Structure 1
Amino acid sequence: MSFRLLTKAWRQQIQPLNRTEFSSYILHRSFSRVSERPSFGIAFDIDGVILLGNTPVGGSPTALRKLYNYDGTLKFPYVFLSNGGGIPEAKRASELSELLGLNVSASQVLQGHSPFRQLVNRFEDKLIVAAGKGEPALVMSEYGFKNVISIDAYASRFENIDPLAPYKKWTTKLATTQNPKFDESGPQIDVFSERVQAAFIVSDPVDWSRDVQVLCDILKTGGLPGRNVGTQPHLYFANDDLEYQTKFPSERLGMGAFRIALESIFNRTHHHSLEYTCFGKPHPSVFKNAEIVLQKHVPRVDEDSYDINHKNAQPFQTLYMIGDNPAVDIRGARQTGHPWFSILTRTGVFKGKENHDKFPADLVVDTVEEAVDYILAKECA
């Protein structure tokens, strides 16, 4: 069934009810099934779906409150599945809680760099550089990396590494000044003798010219800028988004654009092509991990019907991905396949572009509130 037919059928289903009556209907139907384990879960993109900048969009606070009980406990499992980041998940959860007026836990926040945790055992004690806006070194440190330095601090150790530095009017705050609990200066790192083993692009870089220059220095010399050519250290990107939505009317260039710039310059100035690994949506592994996390947020019904350790948890019948980017959110859900169902909102990147023809959603709606209403009407009927 096409998304237009689905939308038509859904509207016919709720047409006799106004907004207030429909909300009461949803609460009544879902509470009548309180003894049953929810058979669905929801993953929300953030930028362009829940927020534009720091402003809620599309009735997102109202929509999300429908997923909670009257006492504030979670009734239906959901997570935020974002390619964004730059700050620890706990801090992002706190910000979302304040902006949306809800109780969001850190475990409900899956960011583009969250999969970097999987690489701790490989680089735990090795020198790594973390790049991007926010607090990239703090993020990596909290994941368990013990020898991490931000690209801001790393570049500051090398005199004249950035030839444009004298012309830059801004000053970059280091993680040490942003968060006094994180001391990036200790233990002391001798950047002139200790090779960088890996560079992690944690979030969107701020100073593209400097970061491209410094990363090329690191990657071409085997981790010791200013030295001879060496084996390229590992390079990881938290996502490969070309564009994303902010408060500005048109899309802004994202980490994928920075990756293209870095790769193009590296390949023109080095005899080997750049090697790298990208995480984030639309990779199916991100959606499969989200399913595991959603299982942990299924409300516990009773001892007999639901195992507290989730070892015997029943699989979800449907998982909904609500996003605004056809090439990222919708493509990822469709490629992952069952039980994912994709819902595209018109509040972000997608505004009727041709890329929807390439990555068609199962359903297209105007706002996230409309998407949640559709889900609850379908699941709680």
Structure 2
Amino acid sequence: MFHAGGGFPEAKRASELSQILGINISPAQVLQGHSPFRQLASRFENELVVAAGKGEPAAVMSEYGFKNVLTIDEYASCFEHIDPLAPYKKWTTKNVKVNESTPRNDVFSERVQAAFIVSDPVDWSRDIQVLCDILKTGGLPGRNTGPQPSLYFANDDLEYQTAFPSERLGMGAFRIALESIFNSIHSQPLDYTSFGKPNPSVFQNAEIVLRQLVPLFYNDVPAKNHNNAQHFKTLYMIGDNPAVDIRGARQTGVPWFSILTRTGVFKGKENHHKFPADLVVDSVEEAVDYILTKECKDS
């Protein structure tokens, strides 16, 4: 199942979902926006990287195999006056300290090789300032310019739904702000990679993971079908964001079937005009009932 992530490891999300749903969910069944970062661990395994976002971004990256990772809170705390607005901020980040594996002296001499936006940043002004410092100097804030370190975003959602009546700005909005500012102060445009929906690779990766899980749950499935790309007749995408969930499923195509719910970003009476789903329902429960009914009839 897809989950935005929120900057927490898959194991923690699996535990939360298990309690909510009343069934055992394995971490292997949870795909989050930042899950693709795991694929980059071998490339940056021992390199200094910075992880930004709410939750536990460094813990996420460490679990993926990154051995030299600092949160942007930890990294910024090493540089006096790097955030000119810090004296005016009334909040504090608890337990901000440099990871013992990266002494403060190394932070001043070791270049940051990559920055990962794991989840929605909390302090936009500070994070944009520090990221611009890292990206335009080649990974050493306060120094001369250098080649831009790699930059990765877990998703590019412009808006998402919370308890507030109207949508809130998401990581995609943060990316737009960072890109606009960076391009205004640097001669070269910002170079970055965004993962997450609606990128078809997310849906294709989910299909691969599901094929790997099949033999774990259905021992009677012939082994020859385990790696068959056409093994699934239908895969269902249930989502409330037409521009992200439905668009991604439609772009990926067969075997994905998109179901749009009126539980979040989308609240329209009719199907979305730009990114129409295969089915529109009021709730996730109604979507699940439709799937179970359909599959029982087809089986």
TM-score normalised by the chain length of structure 1: 0.74
Residue aligning to 2:101: 186
8 Å CA contact 1:175, 1:184 repeated in 2: no
Measure, in 2, the Cα distance between the counterparts of 1:136 and 1:117: 13
Q: Which runs of 5+ in 2 are unaligned?
A: none
Q: Size of the alignment, in residue pairs?
A: 295
8 Å CA contact 2:70, 2:99 repeated in 1: yes
Residue aligning to 2:46: 125
Measure, in 2, the Cα distance between the counterparts of 1:309 and 1:149: 42
Measure, in 1, the Cα distance between the counterparts of 2:110 and 2:218: 53
Residue aligning to 2:79: 158
Cα offset for 1:311?
4.3
Residue aligning to 1:40: none
Residue aligning to 2:141: 225
Are residues 1:173 and 2:94 paired? yes
8 Å CA contact 1:306, 1:312 repeated in 2: no
Measure, in 1, the Cα distance between the counterparts of 2:99 and 2:7: 16
Cα deviations across residues 184-236 of structure 1 (Å, max 9, x unaligned)?
32243511100001100000000000000000000010100001111111100
Residue aligning to 2:264: 348
Structure 2 counterpart of 1:378, from 289, 294, 298 = 294
Query: Could you say which structure has the larger radius of gyration?
Result: 1
Measure, in 2, the Cα distance between the counterparts of 1:336 and 1:308: 24
Percent sequence identity over aligned pairs: 78
Q: Which runs of 5+ in 1 are unaligned?
A: 1-79, 177-182
Measure, in 2, the Cα distance between the counterparts of 1:156 and 1:267: 25
Counterparts of 1:214-253 in structure 2, within 5 Å, are 214-253=130-169
SS across alignment from 1:341: strand
8 Å CA contact 1:137, 1:175 repeated in 2: no
Structure 2 counterpart of 1:326, from 224, 227, 242 = 242
The letter of the residue matching 2:103 is: Q
SS across alignment from 2:108: coil
Q: 1:192 to 1:355 in 2, by over 3 A?
A: farther
Cα offset for 1:313?
8.4
Measure, in 2, the Cα distance between the counterparts of 1:338 and 1:157: 50
Residue aligning to 2:56: 135
Return 100-109 or 347-356, whichever deviates more.
Answer: 347-356
Are residues 1:267 and 2:267 paired? no
The letter of the residue matching 2:245 is: D
The letter of the residue matching 1:168 is: K
Measure, in 2, the Cα distance between the counterparts of 1:279 and 1:314: 24
Q: 1:185 to 1:354 in 2, by over 3 A?
A: farther
Residue aligning to 1:95: 16
Measure, in 1, the Cα distance between the counterparts of 2:18 and 2:144: 49
8 Å CA contact 1:217, 1:226 repeated in 2: yes
Residue aligning to 2:33: 112
The structure, 1 or 2, with the larger RCO (C-alpha pairs under 8 Å, 6+ apart) is 1
8 Å CA contact 1:327, 1:355 repeated in 2: no
The letter of the residue matching 2:44 is: F
TM-score normalised by the chain length of structure 2: 0.93
Measure, in 1, the Cα distance between the counterparts of 2:252 and 2:222: 26
SS across alignment from 2:41: helix
Residue aligning to 2:251: 335
The letter of the residue matching 1:99 is: I
Cα offset for 1:175?
7.5
